[in-house]
Amino acid sequence: MSIFDNEDEFYMQQALREARTARDEEEVPIGAVIVCDGQIVARAHNNTERLHDVTAHAEMVAFTAAANTLGTKYLPNCTLYVTVEPCPMCAGAAGWMQIGRIVYGAGDPKKGFEKLGHGMLHPKTVVDNGVMQEECSELMKEFFKKKR
Amino acid sequence: MSIFDNEDEFYMQQALREARTARDEEEVPIGAVIVCDGQIVARAHNNTERLHDVTAHAEMVAFTAAANTLGTKYLPNCTLYVTVEPCPMCAGAAGWMQIGRIVYGAGDPKKGFEKLGHGMLHPKTVVDNGVMQEECSELMKEFFKKKR
């Protein structure tokens, strides 16, 4: 039995859909959704090529969209589902947003935030990982294999 | 004699002007300018209240503006002048932008990136601090004194 419940897998599937959209647009295939009280309040994927902005990560776009949707500044009752471990910029943004929980699929030992610790997060933020990590990681591997 | 040259003080004065504009708009008084080859290519101040977006820090706004102005994705020949030590989110964004140099005025031991090290920056980025730190810090102190 998985340590993750079906809900986490369901929402990570939604994040994976976003990641596949990114791939189809030749963006780095990372997707994110933000969930609040069982509702998806934001969906986003990496948009750095289209926006010509190296900071337009899935998470950054999703945070702003979720705050707009909910009409709030902070997201303490929300969960961020993202296919790949957030980078320090996105983790720092999650900190400002006071997000309740972060669930990521595949780890990113090189560019991920975890190697710097959880100091940039809000102290109450819970972090889980590994949900559908094979699928999340496979998308990234395929993308970068093609690029070479 | 100061360890900083007049150029650094000149540009920090410009960042301070932005910080004062922020203060006058009841935003946290932090300002930034980005300089490339002796030209200011972006000016910005903290905009979190107006944009209702807790990630709209002076640096984030300035990075995107500088990239737009220059028509480039990366800023290796640019210097960011910012009145207060960047937070991890902004330092992470600086890393993605591959900014050449960061000069900040006042340190921010609580919310600044330095306590987590320079791991989120590009390895070539040079960091200097303390330029006009009294003025930069005084603006922050006054602002938060009034808020209480």
Catalytic entry in B59, B85, B114, B135: B59
**A-interface mutation test, from B89, B90, B111, B122, most A Cβ less than 10 A away:** B89
Min Cα separation A91/chain B (Å): 7
**A-interface mutation test, from B53, B55, B85, most A Cβ less than 10 A away:** B55
Q: Summarize the confidence of residues A25-35 as an average pLDDT.
A: 97
SS3 A57: coil
pLDDT confidence bin for A146, thresholds 50/70/90: confident
Min Cα separation A3/chain B (Å): 31
Contact B64 A74 (CB under 8 A): no
Whether residue A3 is predicted with pLDDT greater than 70 in this model: the reply is no
pLDDT confidence bin for B69, thresholds 50/70/90: very high
Q: Summarize the confidence of residues B61-69 as an average pLDDT.
A: 96
Q: Which residues of A touch B116 (CB under 8 A)?
A: 88, 116-117, 119-120
Residue B111's pLDDT is what? 96
pLDDT confidence bin for A144, thresholds 50/70/90: very high
Contact B92 A96 (CB under 8 A): no
Phi and psi dihedrals of A44, rounded to 5?
-160, 160
């006054």: which residue's tokens?
Answer: B142
Q: Which of B55, B115, B116 sits opposite A96 (nearest CB)?
A: B55
Contact A93 B95 (CB under 8 A): no
Report the phi/psi class of residue A94: left, alpha or beta, with left for phi > 0 and alpha for psi in -120 to 50. alpha
Is residue B49 part of the annotated active site? The answer reads: no
Q: Which residues of B touch A116 (CB under 8 A)?
A: 88, 116-117, 119-120
Q: What percent of chain A has pLDDT over 70?
A: 97
Whether residue A53 is predicted with pLDDT greater than 70 in this model: the reply is yes
Could you give the ipTM of this predicted complex? Answer: 0.93
Whether residue A38 is predicted with pLDDT greater than 60 in this model: the reply is yes
Please state, in angstroms and rounded to a whole number, the distance separating the CA atoms of residues B105 and A125. Answer: 30
Whether residue B42 is predicted with pLDDT greater than 90 in this model: the reply is yes
pLDDT confidence bin for B62, thresholds 50/70/90: very high
C-alpha neighbours within 13 Å on the C-beta side of residue B131? 25
Q: Summarize the confidence of residues A65-91 as an average pLDDT.
A: 97
Using an 8 Å Cβ cutoff, are B133 and B38 in contact?
A: no
Residue A147's pLDDT is what? 80
Size of interface A-B (CB pairs under 8 A): 87
- CB-based contacts of B123: which residues, under 8 Å, 6+ apart? none
Residue A39's pLDDT is what? 96
Residue B1's pLDDT is what? 45
**B-interface mutation test, from A89, A99, A116, A118, most B Cβ less than 10 A away:** A89
Min Cα separation A92/chain B (Å): 4
Whether residue B58 is predicted with pLDDT greater than 70 in this model: the reply is yes
Phi and psi dihedrals of A123, rounded to 5?
-60, -25
From residue A16, alpha-carbon distances to A87, A92, A106 in Å are 18, 23, 11
Residue A4's pLDDT is what? 59
Contact B55 A60 (CB under 8 A): yes
Rounded to the nearest integer, the mean pLDDT of chain A is 95
Could you tell me the strand order of the sheet in which A101-106 lies?
Answer: A39-45, A31-36, A78-84, A101-106, A126-129
Q: Which residues of A touch B113 (CB under 8 A)?
A: 92
Q: Which residues of A touch B48 (CB under 8 A)?
A: 73
Please state, in angstroms and rounded to a whole number, the distance separating the CA atoms of residues B21 and B67. Answer: 23
Residue A1's pLDDT is what? 45
SS3 A81: strand
pLDDT confidence bin for A2, thresholds 50/70/90: low
Residue A148's pLDDT is what? 74
Please state, in angstroms and rounded to a whole number, the distance separating the CA atoms of residues B47 and B24. Answer: 12
For residue range A83-100, list pLDDT tens digits in order.
Answer: 999 999 999 999 999 999
Whether residue B39 is predicted with pLDDT greater than 70 in this model: the reply is yes
For residue range A117-141, list pLDDT tens digits in order.
Answer: 999 999 999 999 999 999 999 999 9
Whole-model pTM: value is 0.94
Q: What percent of chain B has pLDDT over 90?
A: 94
